[in-house]
A and B are shown apart, each in its own frame.
Chain A
Amino acid sequence: MTERIVVVGFGPVAARLIDELLPAVRGGLVELTVVGEETEAAYNRVLVADLGVGRTTAGALALADAAALVADGVDVRLGVRVRRVDRARQRVLLTDGSSPGYDRLVFATGSRPMIPNLTGLNPDPAAPVLPAGVTALRDLADAAALQAAVAGDKRVVVLGGGVLGLETALAAAEEGAAVTVVHNGPHPLGRNIDRGGGAVLAASLRNCGVRVAGNARSVAVETGADGGFSALLLEDGSAIDGELLVLSCGVRPRTELAEGCGLSTAAGILVDHRLRAHHEPHIFAIGDCAEVRCPEPDCMVCRSARGPSGLVGPGWRQAEWLAGYLTLLASGVPGEADALPPLPAEQPGVLVLKARGLTMAVAGDVSAEPWDEEALTAGAVGGRARLQVAQWADPEHGRYVKMTTRAGVLEGLVAVGMPRTAAELVQLFERGAELPADRSLLLRLDGPDQAGATATDPERTVCRCAGVSGASIAAAVSSGCGTVAEVAASTRAGTGCGGCHEDIKGLIEKHFQGAVA
């Protein structure tokens, strides 16, 4: 029998779920309905800032094509919101008055931007009314506002020193806008990065042309005569003038529909390891709106569970897993579905700054310092290897690396201004692989000597193709060969790819110079 699945939300995570469910839809196993609040099908929200500075096009952001999905038999409802979920009757009531029924319901409602408490902004967090010139940079319309500001040489103020705020600021600055980042800690990325990394990061931001206002408590938004944003007012009485204010103060999972129908929520909608809402076998949640924390109080995996990460990668993995699970459920083989191993717990996320002029990666817990008590105490702590910290700081050149390890495996990392090192450390972190004992090896990846020096050993093979050493060539030259062709005829050096002709010339010249001298 066909199973009816309704997906609430049509963002990147929902798009992946739908893609993965398509075979079951085409095969008649699943009747799929997707409800999206925006009028567009899913697009890549991660790149909205790029769109806002004109680096990409709205078309290139698309992750789904509504018409193609409809052709595949998916019921796509755009520009419609869910008013309420009727769990008793297994129906969702929509703003257009319809009420499709479901056998399985998937919440993929994502998150909404946090609107800070500032005088001049509507305090209702669920339905904020933002004055002209203030945007949270979440959707395509927000991107258009930023694009107009950048194109019009307006001053942009970014409130929030998180990764999205920094990316927006850097992109806008690189495209020529005057940008100020306002944040309330001693350095940007306060919650993710350590002091050293934060300091180097702030300096690098300034080098990229971004003004950084740290330790700044903002209190109000000032509007001009036209009712649009004109300045951000700080607690110390100063004002940061601008024409566009980008709010980048984090996101909050959208859980109100789930709460409204009586599901358990914490930061997000609470789901177990099978992404199922607590005590509700017909409802699932994935992506930014979901919080994986199973109902069993003694579950080891969930002991250290955090709220939703705000990153899209974990959501996509959840979508892939859930599609497989739902397909098995729909095939009428519940035994097989139950046998599907649950999705492994996510590691703490990795932040990689999306920017052109500045590279930064940070992951895990980086609070420990090399001279902390634990790192200096010999032996294991409570049967656990002790935490160790290796650090490299070169603020003058905008470079900083910290590796926090336990038994040689990274628990945290910071890399600023070292692109290859950053890429390598992130790999090692993701795989839980052991670092080389000589940590400086990882720093050298960004050194200029990567290619390695040329050997001058006479036994060194000059012609790899024919396997001829420098000594053999020198001998041939001594016995009368004076051109590359003659050396080739005598020794076969240079008769393959020809890449060593310059080396052979060098050896011939060396010989004759020696003869003159």
Chain B
Amino acid sequence: MTDGAATHCPYCALQCAMTLTVPAAAPAAAVPARPADAPLEVAGRDFPTNRGGLCRKGWTSASLLEHPGRVTEPLLRGPDGVHRPVSWEEALELTAAAVKDTRAAYGPDAVGVFGGGGLTNEKAYQLGKFARLALGTSRIDYNGRFCMSSAAAAGMRAFGLDRGLPFPLADLDSANTVLLLGSNVAETMPPFVQHLQGARDAGGLIVVDPRRSATAAFTADGGGLHLQPLPGTDLALLLGLAHVVIHEDLADSDYIAERTTGYSALARSVAPYWPERVQTLTGVPAGLVRDTARRLAEGARQGGSYILTGRGVEQHVDGTDTATAAINLALLLGLPGSGRSGYGTLTGQGNGQGGREHGQKADQLPGYRKITDPAARAHVAGVWGVPEASIPGPGVPAVELLKSLGRADGVRCLFVHGANVAVSAPDANAVIAGLRSLDFLVVCDFFISETAAEADLVLPVTQWAEEEGTLTNLEGRVLRRRRAIAPPPGVRSELWIMTRLAALLDAPSTFSEDPETVFEELRLASAGGLADYSGIDYALLDRGEEAYWPYPAGSSGTPRLFLDSFAHPDGRAVFAPVAPRRGTLPVAAAGAVSAGADPAGPDPAGTPMTLITGRLLEHYQSGAQTRRVAALAAARPEARLQIHPAAAAAQAIAEGDVVAIANGRGEVLCRAELSAGIRPETVFLPFHFPGPESANRLTEAATDPVSGMPEFKTSTVWVRPAVAGSRVEKVQAEVLQMDGAS
């Protein structure tokens, strides 16, 4: 047996450490659930975040490397709609021609790029540069807009800096109290749960979730508290907690005086949220609101209190304000930057942290620099060796970019990298229609994802075990991804594709297919920015050193941020008063559960319900990868609607029945799963599934005014049994069709 490649899992932001080994010989004893067809053996590796643990997704990840459905040569769609192999040379020339034609006819902003939070730092960095210099477009954004943008905006506003966890994850181990808002880590990143054990033992795990999620279940048996607010009322709950902290004199007044600004306006803004009123707004008993606030304050004195937010509270039209309210609560208690307490947001995608720092965002340049800041533009233009004026200005955020597809003044030619927008974007039916209206769509992927299926050209790219690079995990720690195996012959890296296309498009500056070369340039480009990587190099990472950004050259990085000061010029954190938006408070009108204006469904006579969307342990994102892993697909082959038995009984829905979930945007057909762990007026759908089971057919492309984050968590829907067997057959027929496409 060889030593194997020390790398990290291809999926979520926990980036569990793993070792990949080429099996020496056939194993003597077959082990259950281990994929026999995988060319590599996966083993958990000891690391501070996962401590050797992996979840099912990680364990089975190698089985995709030699999956029969893998794309191994460029595929061009013919006039008959069928994808057929073409040479790389032809593929690249066609692409360059499409870009040139589009630019000539409609201008450079008619070419767009949609990136992903799973791309390595090197790819994300070079993709931003490619868009701006080779394509000359401002129209670049990425799927991280669906995940992290609200918490990022809130963090910037409060602290002057956004790093998901501003402290190492292992700091949580000694916490007395952890308040987890809208995050189901037991399903989304199971090895994370080890770090909650201390709080559970101390009875201080407090989970806020409308569902009795697997994570919420950890609060049982004295582990802590579970608060179940109505969907969309997290903000009012947080204001209530802040109210109790202020009124019961639980705030850290020295900290507030020395380290913050804006306290008195904040105190006034939460005065109207006494616990009994909050109970009326959220459904959380007033006593629990008080207990939670007291516990957080006590925890801060005992071993430490942490407040962590996830997509459940952030993916709303008021997501930035909700994350801000969580930060305000943390600041009142004196947690951020105290060394043994804190606030953080749990980044979702594998490189969701690094992916938001190096130029994939419409409004940013590398190093978390603002694209509108003249000094930032001058610095980056200097590194790139181009005139500052040649860097386009800010583009538009993801939802707006997708809405513009095929429109007269919109994007006509689109590049998609590491994203499956046909499944993961809100109002998926409209997105698919947009993709179909494009003049030219290029998708880089390793499978025919639902988005690739719409492409004119599919370019096959390397998988994690076949490439070198870096990612930045949820703690802001930069990690090395290492190659363990050669890619199939016809597969290329995205860095190579960008380099070749840049040459065909006569782009200025330099592009490289070598990850380390690209990283060396990223270091220079990020130097002096908020996310400064200039002191990090591959050699340092290969020695196993911890590298938390900001890591300016000559420093040793920053495991814990804000210990001395916050990143605003005066060194103080900012209290930004927030309140539920007008019209979001309950009024007399029945069914006023949704913040957005949802069009009535085909059955408006029925009872409207609130749909929340989320994840399952077995699947990742749009499921483009995990649905192709046999063990995972067998465990969770299809979407199931979670519904309360009482709500199901009212509609004569039994366990396993096929139900229709509909509103004015679309309809989903899937089986029902009865669970007393969900509120009776709320239903839950995982968003990992395509076609008739695609939850995002029902979500609305309404966005947060600050961050551009879409509303994924509160859509109004109508649920009814799908009539007769014909519908079941329709589901099965459509599912078969989707499988056939892949």
Contact = CB atoms under 8 A, between A and B. Distances in A.
B415 interface: no
A422 interface: yes
Interface residues of B, number: 74
A352 B32 contact: no
Chain A: interface size category: 35 or more
Nearest to B251: A60
Nearest to A489: B31
A496 to B, nearest CB: 4
Interface string B345-386: 000000000000000000000000000000000000000000
Given A57-B247, A320-B582, A423-B286, 15 more contacts: A12-B272, A20-B582, A60-B246, A65-B264, A352-B277, A352-B279, A420-B285, A427-B280, A436-B647, A441-B646, A452-B212, A452-B676, A467-B617, A495-B52, A495-B59
Closest 5 A/B residue pairs (Cβ): A436-B646, A432-B590, A497-B193, A451-B220, A465-B190
B284 A423 contact: yes
Nearest to A351: B276
A44 B646 contact: no
A350 B588 contact: no
Contacts of A135: none
A46 B280 CA distance: 15
A333 interface: no
B247 A466 contact: no
Interface in A474-495: 490-492, 495
Contacts of B214: 464
B33 A467 contact: yes
A354 interface: yes
B70 to A, nearest CB: 24
B268 A498 contact: no
Interface in A416-436: 419-420, 422-424, 426-427, 430-434, 436
A434 B650 contact: yes
18 contacts: A55-B247, A59-B267, A62-B264, A316-B272, A419-B287, A423-B279, A427-B283, A437-B649, A451-B217, A465-B191, A467-B631, A467-B635, A496-B193, A497-B55, A497-B190, A497-B192, A498-B51, A498-B197
Nearest to A16: B272
B53 interface: yes
A56 interface: yes
Nearest to A491: B32
B729 interface: no
B146 interface: no
B332 to A, nearest CB: 11
B9 to A, nearest CB: 12
A388 interface: no
Contacts of B631: 467
A359 B649 contact: no
A422 B276 CA distance: 11
Contacts of A47: 247, 271, 274
A55 B280 contact: no
Nearest to B288: A419
A285 B308 CA distance: 43
A86 interface: no
Nearest to B583: A320
Interface of A: 12, 16, 20, 43-44, 46-47, 50, 55-57, 59-65, 68, 312-313, 316-317, 320, 324, 343-347, 350, 352-354, 356, 359, 409, 419-420, 422-424, 426-427, 430-434, 436-438, 441, 451-452, 464-468, 472, 490-492, 495-499
A437 to B, nearest CB: 6
A426 B283 CA distance: 7
Nearest to B50: A496
B681 interface: yes
B268 A65 contact: yes
Interface string B613-627: 000011000000000
A57 B607 CA distance: 45
A478 to B, nearest CB: 13
A321 to B, nearest CB: 8
A492 B56 CA distance: 9
Contacts of B265: 65, 68
A344 B589 contact: yes
Interface string B216-235: 01101100000000100000
A438 B268 contact: no
A495 B18 CA distance: 12
B53 A352 contact: no
A468 B193 contact: no
B279 A465 contact: no
Given A426-B280, A432-B590, A466 B56 contact: yes
Given A352-B276, A352-B286, A467-B33, A436 B588 contact: no
A236 to B, nearest CB: 36
Contacts of A317: 585, 587
A420 B691 CA distance: 39
A47 B275 CA distance: 11
A424 B283 contact: yes
